[in-house]
Amino acid sequence: RKEVEQDPGPFNVPEGATVAFNCTYSNSASQSFFWYRQDCRKEPKLLMSVYSSGNEDGRFTAQLNRASQYISLLIRDSKLSDSATYLCVVNIRSKLSFGAGTTVTVRA
C-alpha cells in the first residue's frame, strides 16, 4: 500500500468553478502536510502547507483530518492558470512522501 494515495483525476472544470479533491495517508506518525503543484514538464513547487485548523491562501483552501488521515484541497473561482497536477505530500520521519498527483484542467 502506498503511503500517500490520490485520485489521479483528471478533473475537467470550467473557468470560475470550484474543484475539490482529497488524498489519504497511511502512516499515523506523519508530522506535517503539504500541497505541491507541478506543471507539465516542470519541477514541483510548494503551493501551501496544511494545518489541522485548516488554512486558506487566496482561492485555495486546505484541510487536514488527522483522525481519518486525509487531506483536502479546494480551489475556488478556478482560473486557466490553475491547470496543473497537484501533489499531496506528507513528512514522515523527516522525509517527504509524494502522492502520484491529481490532474486538474480548467477550460475556458
* Positions in the binding site for other proteins (CB under 8 A): 32, 34, 42-46, 49, 87, 91, 94-101
Distance CA 29, CA 41 (A): 32
Q: Which is nearer to other proteins, 22 or 97 (CB)?
A: 97
Rounded Cα gap, residues 64 and 44, in angstroms: 21
Query: Which residues touch 97 (CB under 8 Å, ≥6 apart)?
Result: 3, 4, 25, 27, 89, 90, 91
- Rounded to a whole number of angstroms, the minimum distance from the CB of residue 43 to other proteins is 4
CB of 2 to other proteins, least distance (A): 8
Cβ nearer to other proteins, comparing 78 with 101:
101
**Closer residue to other proteins, CB minimum distance, 53 or 95:** 95
